[in-house]
Structures are given as C-alpha cells and as structure tokens.
Amino acid sequence: MDILSKHTQLAEIRWPVFKLGEKKPEQQEGLVFYYTEYVDNDNIPSINIRLVDDAALSGKTLGLRRLQLKTLNEKLYPIRTAIYFLADLIKLGKSTTWFIDSNGKVFQYEKNTRAKLTTRKIKNVFPVDAVGCVLELAGVPHRFKAMTRPKDEQIYARVLQLGMIYIFYGYCEAHKADSWRMI
C-alpha cells in the first residue's frame, strides 16, 4: 500500500507545510486571510484583516509572497510552525487543523489509515553539516534524515511501518511495545 496513493493530497502539496490553526481561513480571489469583527468601547464596529497569502503577487512561494506583503505594510497572520517531514504532519494533524503549503494551497490532513508504531535500535548516526543527521536503524532497509541528532541516552528510534514503508517518528531512551497510530 502506497501512502501517497492513500493520501492523494500528500502528492499534491509542496514542502515545507505551515500550520495555520483550528479556524479555516477565508479564501477569495487568490487571497487567503483571517478576519475578525468587533465593537470597541464607543460601540464603533471594526474589522481586522490579517493576510496569510496573496497569490496575485509575483513570488513563486508562500514565503516570497509574505515578504512582499510585509514590505507593503500589510497585516500578516502569524505563522509559527513550519513542518518539514511527513511524521510531523501526522503528529500535528487533527481533523480540525488547517495547513498551507509552500505553493499557497490550504488543506486539512485527514487521518484514515492505521500504521504500526514500532521501536528500532539505532545502528549508526551520520552527522550532516549544519543541522541534523542521517540515521541507520536495525531491521529497516533504508536510512532517515532527521533535523536533530539523538541525545546520548536515546539509543532507540520509533518508526511508523505501513507495509514496506517506514516513517521516522522520533527518538526514545528505552524499547517500547508496538502500538498503532492513525495516519
């Protein structure tokens, strides 16, 4: 079973992905935004609009378009979480959470498949210049790129296993019993 065929939206998104929050953003004519209405102490109604993206701008990515919006002194909706790996999207994704990819596509991640979460001994850690490492795990036919290196006491890694597909899930200090996760 191919995880990308099960989750067709994963094949369509461009990484990194950014977490927006629990409220669906408004979308109109290439704009992605949040707005709030309120009444101040003098009973004067006001509207607050914070932009996430404007596809009409020339930037090829969400980040470049947001930089352009910033230079135009537009109010930006704060994006605090960038997601670079599938496992992080799986961990953060809930049925109520909204995301935006680097192309500006707004989506929700739907968990509809179960995967086995298993523990594997870390065989080798290959440092990568600047950040992270490449991991070699016992009993797993391929290696994983990780943004952080394991601490000395973290001698095991947790991996999601879906058929012959393995997804690095995180580090742990002790062997843990197998369990299941919705992905």
**pLDDT digit string (tens) for 16-25?**
999 999 999 9
pLDDT at 7 over 80: no
The pLDDT tens digits of the residues spanning 136-172 come to 999 999 999 999 999 999 999 999 999 889 999 999 9
24 Cβ neighbours under 8 A, 6+ residues apart: 98, 106
Cα gap 44→165, rounded to integer Å: 57
Q: Do 83 and 137 share a domain, yes or no?
A: no
Q: Do 23 and 90 share a domain, yes or no?
A: yes
Q: Do 125 and 41 share a domain, yes or no?
A: no
Last residue of a domain, which of 107, 127, 147?
107
Please state the domain count of the chain: 2
Give the residue numbers spanning the domain of 131: 114-174
Stretch among 10-14, 15-19, 27-31, 83-87 having the lowest mean pLDDT: 10-14
